[in-house]
């Protein structure tokens, strides 16, 4: 169900009034005023209504409605359109959501899809810092981006703990199969996180360029902070993916070594069993001219020969570490 989470007007960094999204007069852009609208799963009708109010680009409106977009920054004349991925744990798996931002002179519109905790805390933090909020639309964009990126850190911390726990379980031999299945899930979660974070450094660099509308040069240091955080996050994700890869490869090598040890033992016992089998096979061929069959000590001599040869083989295999 479509939800207008919040719709308010701000002047000089302070909230002056709540607005009715159905009233065109209230939604008019005015000098010195910023309209900040928060939407969750909006209908196409609501987006079309906002498109009429603020002149939003058709392609941006279509992307915001359809969702399932990759993180990106698009410039449409004097309007910016940003897409970012949100992430949170649902059970033991990372669930990805999406937030789109329309940013223009006098307005900021956020559109949330999928799992997300909402941006009430961001709005409250901005309202508690009017000297920063009065910078305008670009500071609101920074606050939203910074909030989304900062939410990635506890997720990566938890994934790191899961990888370390699984590594210990895999090499201890406990719940090996379940552990390997969980590693596959973690690899998928890390890949999803990388897809969400990888475009952010480039987006921040574009926002710090002087040819991007709406963004004032005074807010460039704020976006540089988001750039640093996203770059750190990307490095941590890559390090975790490499760690998971190392765990899987090490486990495969460890299993191969265990199989080799088993094969050595089987080969050694097969070699020792081949001795009495070969002798029994020779004397079981029923040839008439076999002089050993008439010897007085032929039978015990054969048994002694079998024991001596098998004992010698056992000693050699044991010395070589096969047994």
Both tokens assigned to 307: 């024991």
| Whether residue 174 has pLDDT greater than 70 | no
Mode of pairing for the β-strands spanning 93-104 and 79-90: antiparallel
Q: Are 216 and 138 in contact (CB under 8 A)?
A: yes
Give me the CATH code for the 1-131 domain, please.
Answer: 3.30.460.20
Q: Are 163 and 182 in contact (CB under 8 A)?
A: no
Both tokens assigned to 47: 């987006």
| Whether residue 281 has pLDDT greater than 70 | yes
Euclidean distance between CA atoms 22 and 6, whole angstroms: 13
- Identify the pLDDT of residue 35: 95
For residue 314, give Cα distances in angstroms to 58, 198, 266, 275.
82, 59, 12, 12
Task: Return the number of other C-beta atoms located less than 10 Å from residue 128's C-beta.
Answer: 9
| Whether residue 184 has pLDDT greater than 90 | no
- Identify the pLDDT of residue 222: 93
Helices of type H across the chain: 44-54, 58-66, 120-127, 130-133, 137-150, 152-172, 176-197, 200-207, 220-282, 298-319
- Identify the pLDDT of residue 210: 73
- Identify the pLDDT of residue 106: 93
Boundaries of every domain in the chain = 1-131, 261-319
Q: Which pLDDT tens digit goes with each residue over 113-144?
A: 988 788 999 999 999 999 999 999 999 999 99
- pLDDT band (50, 70, 90) for residue 176: low
Task: Return the number of other C-beta atoms located less than 10 Å from residue 114's C-beta.
Answer: 17
Q: Which pLDDT tens digit goes with each residue over 101-119?
A: 999 999 999 999 988 788 9
Mode of pairing for the β-strands spanning 107-113 and 93-104: antiparallel
Please list the residues that pair with 103 across neighbouring strands: 80, 108
- pLDDT band (50, 70, 90) for residue 91: confident
Q: Which pLDDT tens digit goes with each residue over 189-232?
A: 999 999 999 999 999 999 988 778 889 888 999 999 999 999 99
Q: What is the mean pLDDT of residues 292-309?
A: 78
Task: Return the number of other C-beta atoms located less than 10 Å from residue 251's C-beta.
Answer: 17
Euclidean distance between CA atoms 236 and 255, whole angstroms: 28
Collect contacts of 8-16 with beta carbons under 8 A, ≥24 apart. Answer: 8/35, 8/36, 9/33, 9/34, 9/35, 9/36, 10/34, 10/35, 10/36, 10/133, 12/130, 12/134, 13/129, 13/130, 13/131, 13/132, 13/133, 13/134, 13/135, 14/127, 14/130, 14/133, 14/134, 15/127
Lowest mean pLDDT among 4-18, 198-212, 270-284: 270-284
Q: Which pLDDT tens digit goes with each residue over 244-276?
A: 888 877 777 777 777 888 888 888 888 888 888
- Identify the pLDDT of residue 173: 61
Euclidean distance between CA atoms 310 and 298, whole angstroms: 18
| Whether residue 175 has pLDDT greater than 90 | no
Please list the residues that pair with 84 across neighbouring strands: 99
Helices of type H across 215-297: 220-282
Share of the chain above pLDDT 90, in %: 50
């Amino acid at each position: 169900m479509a939800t207008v989470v919040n719709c308010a007007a701000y002047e000089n960094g302070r909230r002056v009034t709540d607005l009715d999204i159905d009233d065109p007069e209230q939604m008019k852009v005015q000098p010195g005023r910023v309209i900040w609208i928060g939407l969750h799963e909006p209908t196409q009708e609501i987006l079309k209504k906002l498109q009429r109010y603020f002149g939003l680009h058709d392609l941006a409106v279509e992307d915001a409605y359809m969702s399932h977009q990759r993180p990106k920054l698009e410039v449409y004349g004097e309007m910016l359109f940003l897409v970012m991925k949100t992430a949170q744990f649902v059970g033991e798996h990372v669930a990805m959501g999406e937030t789109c931002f329309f940013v223009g002179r006098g307005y900021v519109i956020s559109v949330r899809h999928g799992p997300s905790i909402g941006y009430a805390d961001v709005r409250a933090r901005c309202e508690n810092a009017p000297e920063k909020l009065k910078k305008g639309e670009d500071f609101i964009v920074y606050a939203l981006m910074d909030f989304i990126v900062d939410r990635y850190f506890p997720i990566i911390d938890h994934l790191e703990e899961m990888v370390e726990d699984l590594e210990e379980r895999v090499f201890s031999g406990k719940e090996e199969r379940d552990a390997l299945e969980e590693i596959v899930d973690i690899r998928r979660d890390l890949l999803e996180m990388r897809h969400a974070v990888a475009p952010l450094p480039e987006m921040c660099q574009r926002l710090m360029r002087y040819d991007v509308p709406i963004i004032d040069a005074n807010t460039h240091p704020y976006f540089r902070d988001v750039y640093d955080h996203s770059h750190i996050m990307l490095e941590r994700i890559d390090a975790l993916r490499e760690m998971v890869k190392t765990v899987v490869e090490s486990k495969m090598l460890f299993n191969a070594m265990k199989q080799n040890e088993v094969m050595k033992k089987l080969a050694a016992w097969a070699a020792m069993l081949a001795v009495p089998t070969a002798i029994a096979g020779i004397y079981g061929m029923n040839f008439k001219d076999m002089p050993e069959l008439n010897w007085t000590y032929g039978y015990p001599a054969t048994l002694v020969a079998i024991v001596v040869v098998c004992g010698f083989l056992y000693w050699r295999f044991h010395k070589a570490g096969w047994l």
